[in-house]
Structure 1
Amino acid sequence: MKTALITGANKSIGFETARQLLRLGYHVFLGSRDPHKGQQAADQLRVEGYAEVEPLPLDVTDPASVAAARAALGQRISVLDVLINNAGISGGMPQPTLTTAVSVVREVFETNVFGVMEVTQAFLDLLRASAAPRIVNVTSGLGSLTLHNDPTWKYYPVKGAAYVPSKAALNAYTIMLAYELRDTAFKVNAVDPGYTATDFNHHSGPGTVAAAAARVVRAAVLGPDGPTSQFFSDDNAPETGLSPW
C-alpha cells in the first residue's frame, strides 16, 4: 500500500486531499500543528469508512516538531511515497508593500517557504526509499511573477508584500528541488489549487474544496512518464493546465 504525508491536513484542501487519496487506496498521515485537531480529522475520516488514516503532530515552523514527526513516522513506515506540502498562511490581507511590517513577511515565509524546506529535507530519506516518490508543493496562482507583470491578468490588482513573494519563492524552490532530483524517479511539482472557498480566504473563493484537492491529487499520483518541475494551474491556464512562472 502506498503512503502519503500531507501537512496542514486537518481541514480544508488538505483534509479533502487526504480523503481523495484514501479513496485511491493510500495510507495517509495527516500532518497537523494541533494534535487534537489532527485526531479529530482522522476520526472523522474513519467514521466515513476510511481506516488507513493516522494523525501526525507536525508544526512545519518548529524544527523540533518536524524532527519528532520524522522520528514518529519512521517507527511506522520505512517508505514514504508522497509528500504534499500543503500547510500555508496568508499573513492577513491587505499587505501594502510600503507599510506591511517585515515581521509579517517573516512569519509568512516561515510557514510557506522555510517550513516546506524543513519538512522536505527531514522526510527525503523515506521518499528516496520509494520506487516512485512524489513531492507536491501547494502554491498559488498569485505566485506567478510573469502574470503579476501583466496588466490584463484577472488577478493583476491582487498584490501583497508577504503572501505573493512567499509563493513565488516556493515556486523557485520547487524548480531547484526538481533539478537536483532530475536523474531520479522523483516527480516534484507546484500545484495551484485555484481560488477556493475556504477559511483561508473567508470562503470568498468561487472554487470547491473537492475540485481544488483533485488538482493536488492529480500531481501526487503521476505515473512514471508524468512531468516534473511544472507549475500546474487550471485557473491561470485552463487550456494547458500549466501556468507561467
Structure 2
Amino acid sequence: MQLTQQIKIESTEEQQKVLWDLSEKCRLIYNLALKERKDNWKTNRDKPKEQRNYITYIDQQNQLPKIKEKYPEYKWVYSKVLQLTLKKLDANFKSFFVLKKNGNKSANPPKFRGKKYFTTMCYNQSGFKVEDGFVELSHRHPSDIDLKFEIPEKFTFEKLYQVSIYQKDNDFFVSIVYEKTRKEYIDNGKYQAFDLGATKHTAVNSEGKFIEFTNKRLDKYWESKIQEVQSKRDHCKK
C-alpha cells in the first residue's frame, strides 16, 4: 500500500532563495497556462457541444520545449516538475467542468496565483533521491546550490514514488509518497467488537473486558431547549 509522510525540513537562506526562484517559474507557467485555458473556455462555452475544441494537458505540455527555448530560465526547473504543475492545473479545470456539468452555477475557473504564493513542486518517480538521512532534489538553477535536506533517522522508506516540497506558515516541508508492505494477517483467536451509538460507545473483547463511555454529542447544548419546545408542544390544545 502507498502512504504519505510529511516532514519539516531546515533550509539555509541560499536554499530558500533557490526554492522561491524555482517555485516562481512554476507559478508563472501555471498562470500562463491558466490564461490560455480561460480564454479557450470563453471562446468555446457558447458553441454547440460538437464544435467545442478545448485545450488539453497534452497540448500545453507540448509547448514547454518552445517556452524553454525562448525563456531559458525555465530550464532551471526539473522537467517533470513543470509537467506536474500543468497536470495540477488540468485537474483543477476538470473539477471546474464537473461542477458546471452538475448544474453548479456559482462554479468558477481556477484562480491565478499571486506573487507571494509558493507553488508546490512535485517530483514524480525521478529527479529526487532519499538516502542516508537526506532528501535531495534536482534542479539547474545557476547558483548550483544543492537542495539537500536532512530528515530524521526515524523515517525509513521502501519503494519511493513521489516527493513534493511545499511551504506552510513560513516553514518548508517535504511530502514523501512511498510503498509500505502490509503485514500478513495472523488470526490469534482474539476478537473485539465496537458499537458506536449516538449517545454512547461500547466495546467488548473475547476475553470479557468491557468498556462504555458517553459520546459528547455536538447537539448537547440544544438538548434542554429541544425538550422545552417538546414540552410546550405536548401541552398545546389540539
Q: TM-score, normalised by structure 1?
A: 0.23
Q: Considering only CA atoms, is the larger Rg found in Structure 1 or Structure 2?
A: 2
Q: Which has the higher strand share?
A: 2
Q: Which has the higher helix share?
A: 1
Q: TM-score, normalised by structure 2?
A: 0.23
